[in-house]
Amino acid sequence: MEADAEQEGRHLIGIDTNVLVRLCVRDDPDQVKAALKLLSNVPPASVRVSVIVLAELAWTLLRRYRIDKVALIAAVEGLLSRIELDIEGRSAVMTALQWYHDGSADFADYLIAALNREAGAAPTYTFDERATSSPAFALVS
């Protein structure tokens, strides 16, 4: 994607998990204002969000902020709708969200399986029995 951005003459910047956390939970007014200012001053699809950042975001929101599954799905869907964000593996993220909605494993697990499937590697083998309720996973035995 970076090479594509260079060919199109646009410049990408990266964004860290903590910036997205501020946008999602709005718990620090000064940092929320700064994050919104950053995003208001960039062209569409110019702020790169890696899948690692999304996995960290899910973990942080679920574990530290104790949001529920429905709220996490809404938060990630909200990020997917922001035009200034260039979400790495967008289609895999959308697939992972659907699997997460319907399944019992963690969002990051489904993201791993969706990325693997897009790369032609399926199923994803795991020791996590919760994950194997999805056909995207197989239990290592």
Q: pLDDT tens across 44-74, in order? A: 999 999 999 999 999 999 999 999 999 999 9
Q: Write out the residue range of the structural domain in which residue 30 sits.
A: 2-139
Mean pLDDT value across residues 82-99: 97
Residue 71 buriedness (CB in 10 A; 0-12 / 13-18 / 19+): middle
Mean pLDDT value across residues 121-136: 94
Split into its structural domains, the chain has a count of 1
pLDDT at 68: 96
Does residue 1 have a pLDDT over 50?
Answer: no
Distance in angstroms (rounded) separating the CA atoms of residues 118 and 113? 9
In this structure, what token pair is assigned to residue 85? 């964000």
pLDDT at 3: 52
- Phi/psi for 14 (5° steps) reads -100, 160
Contact 134, 113 (CB under 8 A): yes
The share of the chain scoring above pLDDT 90, in percent, equals: 91
